Amino acid sequence: MDSSKKAGTRHTASGTVDPFVGDPAWAPTPRRVKVRAPGKINAFFRVGPLREDGYHGVASTYLAVSLYEEVAITTKPGTPATDITVSISPESSLDAELLASIPLDASNLAVRAALLVADISENPCGVHIEITKHVPIAGGMGGGSADAAAALVACDSLWHTGLSWEELSQLGSELGADVPFALLGGAAVGLGIGDQLTAALAPTPLHWVLVPADYGLSTPVVYGTLDKLRASSGAEVAEPGEVEAGVLAALRAGDAHALAPWLHNDLQAAAVSLAPGLADVLAQGEGAGALASLVSGSGPTVAFLAVDAAHAEDLAAALTANGHEAWAVEGPVHGAHIVL
């Protein structure tokens, strides 16, 4: 951490440092910060063999899209930092049954994120976390990771911890491989277990249609199913070391037609094996004119690539007419950022 931004100091306009830690006059009333963080799709996803540490190496191209989680955190002055409560906002757009499955205890990723920041802050206090859910739950789009990223940013702001993006990312990697990307946003290549990020050039937004499912898929179960499918087929799988150059070239050019043939997800076969109805969704989107389609991450959300914004709206309308919920989105978009 930069010593000039040490937690417990406030930098004033005159350049002096005003100590406020322990000052009962500072922040006598609750403070509130709201952070927005995006969901993601994996435009390209290679998965290596199961490693001895229980993880799989990956080579992924992440794309942050305009479907956001919102996390509002309010301080509870005078309470210990372990006094963390969490609730789900009634403004959430997801199915009530799925919302009811979200843990509201210390296992919630946003709570864990707040505790991580509290551990290195000089004057933390208890907080209440309110999460407005829009990214599908257990949908392969990193919704929980977005919540964690938003909580890291919010608590850093509330407690004046002064963490850099790199420091926040390091904390995020303790919570899950997708958390650093939810902080970064944009487009990126992810190696290792997905947490070794390199930003990718993608100056022109691409347009997509997302079709969520009314159920979730467990990421560990999807990976385990992939391992079983590979074992049964005798497939020899190498450790992935890079993404295809064609993916990155298409993103740099902002060319949906060029990107279409490169869309790939090694986990798709496993997701479809667990949820066979996904095959029908994929076929319907392609039949409705999508340039290409794939299951996002571990699924079951399906992403369809469109030519432009108008095509995405038309494609979403066609899928809605077929009885699906369909959302037109674009990406890349910014990572976790304060909105209030």
**pLDDT tens column, 14-58:** 333 333 343 333 456 899 999 999 999 999 999 999 999 999 999
Q: What is the average per-residue pLDDT within 282-309?
A: 97
Which is the catalytic residue, given 40, 156, 195, 266?
A: 40
Q: What is the pLDDT of residues 132-158, one digit of tens each?
A: 999 999 999 999 999 999 999 999 999
**Dihedral over Cα of 61, 63, 64, 67: its sign:** negative
Question: Regarding the domain with residue range 206-330, which homologous superfamily does it belong to in the CATH classification?
Answer: GHMP kinase, C-terminal domain (3.30.70.890)
Q: What is the mean pLDDT of the chain?
A: 91
Could you tell me the residue ranges of all domains in the chain? Answer: 28-200+334-338, 206-330
Q: What is the pLDDT of residues 238-265, one digit of tens each?
A: 999 899 999 999 999 999 999 999 999 9
Q: Which residues contact 308 (CB under 8 A, 6 or more apart)?
A: 207, 256
What percent of the chain lies above the pLDDT cut of 70? 92
- The confidence score (pLDDT) of residue 28 equals 66
140: helix, strand or coil: coil
Q: Is 40 a catalytic residue?
A: yes
Q: Is 280 a catalytic residue?
A: no
| Burial label, 113 (beta-carbon count in 10 A; 0-12, 13-18, 19+) | buried
Which is the catalytic residue, given 133, 147, 156, 178?
A: 178
Q: pTM value?
A: 0.88
Instruction: Specify the CATH architecture of the domain 28-200+334-338.
Output: 2-Layer Sandwich (3.30)
- The confidence score (pLDDT) of residue 177 equals 87
What percent of the chain lies above the pLDDT cut of 90? 87
Q: Answer yes or no: same fold for 28-200+334-338 and 206-330.
A: no
